Amino acid sequence: MDEFDPDEMVARFKERAAAVKKRNLPPVGGDERSMFIAQAQTDFRDFAMIGDADVQLEDGILTLTVDLRPSSG
């Protein structure tokens, strides 16, 4: 088994967030369209949040730090 690299994991989540932004809208309408768009927004937010995390792996404990405070500026 390969050694776990938390920085590679974060990079994969950044790639997933970018992929969600590029995701094509399938030919659906009405409620299904709204559900698809809502899910894409949730996926992007979740993937981007982890993709922006500061990671630390110490003594087998993975810590992700995500600053959710509004930016000042």
65: which residues sit within 8 A by CB, 6+ positions away? Answer: 53, 54, 55, 56
Residue type, 30: G
Query: DSSP labels for 15-70?
Result: HHHHHHHHPPPPS--HHHHHHHHHHHHHHHHHHHHHHT-EEEEETTEEEEE---SP
Stated as kind and residue range, the H or E segment containing 65 is strand 61-65
pLDDT of residue 58: 93
Residues found in the chain: 73
Q: What is the pTM of this model?
A: 0.77
Q: What is the pLDDT of residues 24-60, one digit of tens each?
A: 887 888 888 889 899 999 999 999 999 999 999 999 9
